[in-house]
Structure 1
Amino acid sequence: MSSLNSHNKDRLINDKYSPLVSVIIPVFNDAQRLQICLEALENQTYPKHLYKVIVVDNGSDPDEDIEGVVAKFGQAIATSESLPGSYAARNKGISLVQGDVIAFTDADCIPAQDWIEKGVKHLLETPNCGLVAGKIETIFKDKEQATPVELFESITAFPQKQLLEERHYGATANVFTFKSVLDRVGIFDARLKSHGDVNWGRRVFAYGYKQVYADDTCVAHPARYSFTELYKRTIRLAGGFYDLQIRSEPSVFKQNLIFCKNLIKHLIPPLMWVYTALIDKRLNTIEDKMKVSLVMFFVRYVYAKEIIMLKLGSNSARE
């Protein structure tokens, strides 16, 4: 792999080579934000003839008209995947890839104009590169009147650099990789509705590939606005973690032990989280700090409730 990257780097420097890139976007009932995402991808600095956007409709309602939205953009094609879950949808996109490089983002993200160019550059310049995780910047509906949930997301959502360095994965809202890496380590676990990026990223790391954080490879992601939106995200993440543990640990005894540890952790008041919010300089006022602290309690106990329901036989949520 390192010799391939070295060769690609030399050719890129000599302006003789740029790889074909496939951008994969799963979407479920989010046509409005998908259109904004595709608008951002339509006029990238990367050569138009060298990238294609594959939009995978994961069972959206017919009135969303995902195909109609995609048809407006020359760089994009539409396909579908009936198996619920964004990782199943990403796998369908992977099956249609025809280039060397694959980029992942989400329908609610807004890639920077040079997103593809910068992501490819980091891939090619890093020997034995398995993945590049780019920056995910949260944005507000109204900077002057941010909701408590938006403030919470602004300091907690998508810490890509930390995720990569400490947990060896990047959120698939902004990840680049080589098709050859996927061929070797495998595709996503389609059974997971969340944490599939954790599972895949750790496999990439286990195979000895280098993982790179790229601050200049940026997408914007709207912060969740309401407690309803945050509730949905929290139960999805709880379900993804629960499913991942069940899949990775065959021993029922150890599964139960992990469950108990996780439950106890989430029943304990999040005092360390609150302390972190109180000293975080990104929160300008005491009022903002207190709002975020209350949201932290909400997230902690919603998570605890959800893993109890899963243990009692509920199915993990897809959104």
Structure 2
Amino acid sequence: MVSGQSATTIVPVYNDPEGIESTAESLVTQSGSDHTILIVDNGSTDRTRSVIRRIINGRDDIQLLVEDETQGSYAARNKGIERAEGDIVAFLDADETVDEDWLETALRVMETRGLDYVGCRVELTLPKTTLVGWYNAHTGFPIEQYLEEQRYAPTCALLVRREVFDDVGPFDSRLISGGDKEFGERVHDAGYEQGYVEEAVVYHPARTSFRALAKKNVRVGRGFCQKQRYYPERYGSPGVPPTPTGSGGGEDAEGPESPFTRLAFAFLSFAMLACRGFGYYYEFLFGEKRERGPPTS
């Protein structure tokens, strides 16, 4: 590792045996020897946990952690943070893959630029070609824009120095979505250096079905309402949703060429915005306020 730094990569997973297998296979090829992988199973009910145990199979660089009590990716990540011993804590999602030099590249840039919190470039891949998948890949993850304008990077491609968590605390496990943004803002307000590492690439499969993309947008809408519930001084009063921003794509993405595709993308953008609105008001009407618990349960 760069300058003797150690790193821990945390990967939460729920009912995704194929995805976690691909991610683990990708991570074990990382250059450098002082790297530990913590896979946190968040209450899977299928064969995911047995697949993880098979992946480990006597390896001392991969560990299985379990977060069964609190269902949510931020609770799972907090479980990993509590056990992480590396100088740098990295986060990926199950089903993502990275190049062999991903971690080494990110650590080198962090060291060179004196960064405490970095987002990596995310390239969306198409597991199969569908209109929804093409739309999702088109909107993408504009990580650099997120960092410049909103002061956060998503947890699907994030590295943070360990002392940052010791100072500002872990993710808010009460949130179903948006906990990465809330945490990133805390990091920025505490004065830590944030940055974007374009050279370190994370490959994320695009959602190729309408159901999967709609489910994500409903969750995003619910998460924003939750942030208002817990942080009204930062996000406004519950019941007043944020200004519509569509499905969250990059402004510089190349537009679709055919009139049919442009029309289809416009419909999907409106539909995903409606899903966010539905999620927001569902949470506003039926969501319950939860007490903040310890970093892990």
Q: TM-score range by the shorter chain?
A: 0.7 to 0.9
Superposed CA RMSD: 2.6
* Alpha-carbon distance, 1:156 to partner: 1.9
1:34 and 2:16 aligned: no
Corresponding residue pairs, total: 285
1:85 aligns with 2:68: no
Q: Deviations over 1:132-174 (max 9, x none)?
A: 10011100124xxx32211221222321011000000000111
In the TM superposition, what whole-angstrom CA distance separates every residue of 1:185-218 from its partner, at most 9, and x where no partner exists?
Answer: 1111111121111011111110111111011111
Question: For the Cα contact (< 8 Å) 2:222–2:281, is it kept in 1?
Answer: no
Q: What SS class does the counterpart of residue 154 from structure 2 fall into?
A: coil
Secondary structure of residue in 2 paired with 1:38: helix
CA distance in 2, matches of 1:233, 1:174: 17
User: 2:240 corresponds to which residue?
Assistant: 260
Over 3 Å counting, the alpha-carbon distance change for 1:273 and 1:178 in structure 2 is: closer
Whole-Å separation in 2 of the counterparts to 1:221 and 1:280: 17
Query: Aligned partners of 1:308 and 1:153: how far apart in 2?
Result: 24
One-letter code aligned to 1:284: E
- 1:66 is displaced (CA, Å) by 4.4
Q: Is the 8 A contact 2:15 2:47 kept in 1?
A: no
Q: Which AA in structure 2 matches 1:71? A: I
Where 2:36 maps in the other structure, the secondary structure is: strand
Query: In structure 1, what is the equivalent of residue 41 of structure 2?
Result: 57
Aligned-residue offset at 1:223? 0.4
- Tell me by how many angstroms 1:176 deviates: 0.8
Do structure 1's residue 310 and structure 2's residue 283 form an aligned pair? yes
Q: Which amino acid aligns with 2:96?
A: C
Kindly provide the CA deviation profile for residues 10-58 of structure 1, in whole angstroms up to 9, marking residues without a partner as x. Answer: x95xxxx3211100000011111110111111111x21x3101000000
Q: Quick one: percent identity of the two aligned structures?
A: 28
| Equivalent residue letter for 1:303 | R
Q: Which runs of 5+ in 1 are unaligned?
A: 1-10
CA distance in 2, matches of 1:315, 1:104: 28
Structure 2: which 5+ residue stretches go unaligned? Answer: 290-297
What TM-score comes out, normalization by structure 2 length? 0.88
CA distance in 2, matches of 1:199, 1:295: 27
Q: CA deviation at 1:220?
A: 0.4
Superposed, 1:122-271 pairs within 5 Å as 122-127=109-114, 129-142=115-128, 146-249=129-232, 255-256=237-238, 259-262=239-242, 265-266=243-244
Q: CA deviation at 1:184?
A: 1.0
Q: Name the CA shift for 1:273/1:198 in 2 (closer, same or farther; >3 Å).
A: closer
Q: 1:147 to 1:91 in 2, by over 3 A?
A: same
Change (3 A) 1:261 1:99: closer
Alpha carbons of structure 1 residues 294 and 73: separation in structure 2 relative to 1, 3 Å: farther
Partner Cα distance (1:104, 1:273) in 2: 21
Structure 1 residues 261 and 55, CA, compared in 2 at 3 Å: closer, same or farther? Answer: closer
Q: Pick closer, same or farther for the CA change 1:32–1:188 going to 2, 3 Å.
A: same
Structure 2 residue aligned with 1:71: 56
1:103 aligns with 2:76: no
**8 A contact 1:123–1:132 mirrored in 2:** yes
Instruction: Label 1:54 to 1:161 Cα distance change in 2 as closer, same or farther (>3 A).
Output: same
Q: Give the structure with the higher percent helix.
A: 1
How much has 1:240 moved relative to structure 2?
1.1
Name the CA shift for 1:187/1:206 in 2 (closer, same or farther; >3 Å): same
Local SS of the residue matching 1:201: helix
Which one-letter code corresponds to 1:260 in the other structure? V
In structure 1, distance between residues paired with 2:224 and 2:90: 24
In 1: Cα distance, 2:26 partner to 2:272 partner: 32
